[in-house]
Amino acid sequence: MKTAAIIGGGVIGGGWAARFLLNGWDVRVFDPDPEATRKIGEVLDNARRSLPGLSDTAMPEEGRLSFHETMSEAVQGAQWIQESVPERLELKQKVYQTLQEHCDAGAILGSSTSGFKPSELQGCASRPEQIMVAHPFNPVYLMPLVELVPTDKNPPEMVEKAKEILTGVGMFPLHVRKEIDAHIADRFLEAVWREALWLVKDGIATTEEIDEAIRMGFGIRWAQMGLFDTYRVAGGEAGMKHFMAQFGPALEWPWTKLMDVPEFTDELVDLIAGQSDAQSGHMSIREMERIRDNNIVSMMRALKAQDFASGAVLNAHDKRLSSEAGMVRCMADIADPAQPVVTVARAVPVDWLDYNGHMTESRYLHAFADATDRLMEIVGCDQEYIATGGSFFTAETHIRHIDEAHLGARIEVRTRVLNAEGKKMHVWHEMYAGDRLLATGEHILIHVSLETRRPAPPSEEIAENLRTLAAAQAGLPAPEGVGRHVGQPR
C-alpha cells in the first residue's frame, strides 16, 4: 500500500495530507499540536468538497488517515515523508536526524521549506541523498506546482522517483536545476510583495486596489501562459525580440523600488492590517477559503477544456485515474456485455451547480452526452474513426429528472443499447449516486457521413459491436420509463 508520512500538520502539512489521502495513499501524521486532528480535519473537509471537482473521472478510494504520538512511529513503512515544520534550520536538521533513524533508507524525504536550500537541509544528515526540497503552494491539495530542488548528493533515479510520485498525485514537479535561496516562485512573489508594500506605504494604492490589479488583469494571464510567453505574444508577429527592443529600456526607468525595502515598522503593519480588515474582514477565513477553492476549481476546469497549462496536467491525471480505475474503453474491456456498461464515473463539481444548490439540468445532459461519447468510443466510433468521415448525430433526447445531485456527489452512468438497426442507435442511460437513481436519458442517434451530413451506414465493426451489446442486453427487464413522452403520467 502507498503510504505517506506528514511531519507537521499546519496549513501546508494539512494540505499535503489531503493531497495524498484523496489520491488513494494512506497518510500517517505526526504533529504535537493537540488541535492537529481538528485543524487537519477542517482542511480535509475543504479538500473533499473541492479536489474531486478538478477531475472528470472517478478519484481513487480515499486512503486511511492516522495520527501518531512519535515521528518514529509515523514514518514506518512510508515511501514519501513530507516535512512541514517551522522555518528554523536547526529544528529541521534535528527532525531529519530522528526521521532517518527510523524511516526506510529508500524513502524520499521532502521538505516544504520556502527558503532553505537543500544542501543546508542535508547538513549533517546520515543519508543526505534522501533529502530534497519539495516546496508546494497553498492550498496544496489544489495547486499543481511543487518546486523540486535536489543537490548533487541526490541520485538521479531518486529525483525521477520523486517526480513520478508527485505526478501520480496530480502535481506538476518543477525541477529546479540549481539551488538558490527561496527557489524560483517565491523570489517572484517576494519582489511583487516588496513593491506592494511601497505602493501602500506611499499612499498610491490600497490593499484592495492592488489585489484588483492582479486578479482582474495579469494574474489571469500569468495563470495560463506564464511570464515569457505572455511577453512574447505582446511582441506581435516579431515576437520576443521586438518586445524586448520596445520595452527593454524601461528597465532603467524608476518604475519600481524592488531594490529598496521599506522599514517594517509598527505603523506600516497597522496600515496594511487595517486596510486588509476593511477589504475582507466581513468574511470568515473558512468562507474565504471556500470562495478561493471554488474559484480555483472553476478556473482550472476552464483550462482543462483547452487542454492548456495546468488544465493539461489535470487531463493527463484524469487519464491515469481512468486507467487505474479500470474504466471501459473498448469492447474487450467489457467483463459482461449482458449487463449495463459503466460509461461515466465522476464527482459533481462546483460549476455544475445552479441557484438551487444542486446539479443544474444542463449538466444531466452533459453527463449523458459524455456517456454516449464513451459508448461510441467503446464500439469503435472513436476520434480515429471520426477522422475518416463517419460519426453519430443525436436525433432525439428524453431526460427524466428523478432525484437531486449535490456538490461532490459521486455519480455513475450505466448504459444499455436497446436497439441497433441500420443507421440507428437507441441508447438508455441511468445515472446513480450509490444506489439512488438520479435520472434517466433515452437517446436516438443516427450514423451520418460527415462529408454529406446525411444518414449513412456505419462501418461493419461498429454495427457488429452495437448488435452484440443489444443482443446481450435484450434479456434485461425493459427500463422503467422507456418510450415515455413529456408530461405522460407515471
Q: Per the annotation, where are the binding residues for NAD(+)?
A: 8-13
DSSP 92-103: HHHHHHHHHHHS
Nearest to 54 by CA among 189, 172, 218, 163: 172
How far is Cα 272 from Cα 403, in angstroms, rounded to an integer?
49
Which residue is associated with the grid cell 482543462?
304
CB 408 within 8 A of CB 53: yes
Distances in whole angstroms, Cα of residue 94 to Cα of each of 13, 34, 73, 89: 18, 21, 17, 9
Binding-site members are 8-13
DSSP 247-286: HGGGGGSS---TTSPPP--HHHHHHHHHHHHHHHTTS-HH
Burial (CB count within 10 angstroms: exposed 0-12, middle 13-18, buried 19+), residue 7: buried
Give the total residue count for the chain: 490
The 10 Å Cβ neighbour count of residue 348 is 22
Nearest to 415 by CA among 324, 481, 337, 486: 337
Cell for 33? Answer: 499540536
Contacts of 214 (CB under 8 A, 6+ apart): none
How far is Cα 123 from Cα 109, in angstroms, rounded to an integer?
14
Contacts of 452 (CB under 8 A, 6+ apart): none
Q: Residue 281: what are its φ and ψ, rounded to 5°?
A: -70, -15
Q: In the β-sheet with 26-30, what is the strand arrangement from edge to edge?
A: 65-67, 26-30, 3-7, 80-83, 108-111, 131-136, 145-149, 172-175
